Amino acid sequence: MSSMGSFQKVPLGIFGAAWFVVAAILGLSGVAFRSLLRVLFVLGLGTISYLAYYLSFRMQIGCIICFSAYACMIAATFLGWNLSGVEISKKSRLWSAGSALLALLI
């Protein structure tokens, strides 16, 4: 395993997968964890911004899987941020959480 693709010998992909799982769980919880969900979105965007910078400019390489994961996280953030600001139905929350889990599987 590359030292660039891991943190403390744990693959970085595990952290991304955990982010999507936590976002899906908080998305299903409704209004109870709205603020925590938005904090998670901001932390996720900050993290992928740094990772994209490091990959593109410091390592000077491109990774389609990495950039796809960044795109999924950005899409989940914008969708989740908009949905967390309004009262939505249970069916809509299930759609949102399902989308996050689908992004996790891709």
Q: Distance (Å, rounded) from C-alpha 13 to C-alpha 67? A: 12
Structure tokens at 105: 């599987």
Q: Does residue 6 contact residue 83 with C-beta atoms inside 8 Å?
A: no
What pLDDT is attached to residue 100? 61
The pLDDT tens digits for 30-77 are 666 777 888 888 888 888 888 889 888 988 888 888 888 888 888 877
Confidence of residue 3 (pLDDT cuts 50, 70, 90): low
| Residue 29, number of CB atoms within 10 A of its CB | 14
Quick one: 33 exposed, middle or buried, by C-beta within 10 A (0-12, 13-18, 19+)? middle
Nearest of 62, 48, 39 to residue 15 by alpha carbon: 48
Q: Which helix (H) or strand (E) holds 13?
A: helix 12-28
